[in-house]
Amino acid sequence: MNFSRWAKHLFMPSWAWRRAFPHAALDAIEAAIRQSESRHNGEIRFAIETSLAPAQVWRGMSGRERAIDVFSNLRVWDTEHNSGVLIYLLLADHDIEIVADRGIAAQVEQSAWESVARAMEAAFRQGEFERGALTGIEQVSALLAAHVPPRSSNPNELANRPVIIRS
């Protein structure tokens, strides 16, 4: 067990996400997702979690493991063409995870998702959280447009509003 990580999660204020993502930033992220989904047949969800619950940290849950849980809980997998993508931020760990459903994961290399995460991290390190989020959405959208172009019927299957997860 990593006591430093445990303390970081335990003492991270639950409202810390607001410093990085005020309501105007959440609105911009929602608008970017809505606009991007007209260019492809994928669905994007954006989730922000300030910290993990103490028991999750105690068990050694990684950001990737938590992102997969969130992917499932938000039902990102439940799209007609299995083309949902979750962009997950775990603020206490400074972690960005991108989880793609099997329909798109079979077509896009993991290294492409990791490249998107690195671009987001670069902006976040400069304190530009909104720009980093929008960059990530744009790059995920470009990957989706290349692999799952829009069809005549392209319903919005998942909510576009970023979700704030409170542990």
127 pLDDT more than 70? yes
Residue closest to 156 by CA, chosen among 38, 20, 8: 38
For 105, which DSSP code? Answer: H
- Average pLDDT for the chain: 94
Higher pLDDT, 99 or 7: 99
Which residues lie closer than 8 Å to 82 by C-beta, 6 or more apart?
A: 101, 102, 103, 104
Tell me which fold the domain 22-165 belongs to: Diaminopimelate Epimerase; Chain A, domain 1 (3.10.310)
* % of residues, the chain, pLDDT over 70: 99
Strands (E), 79-122: 84-90, 95-100
Residue 58 or residue 154, greater confidence: 58
Domain residue spans of the chain: 22-165
pLDDT tens digits, one per residue of 34-93 = 999 999 999 999 999 999 999 999 999 999 999 999 999 999 999 988 999 999 999 999
Residue 69 tokens read as 């849980």
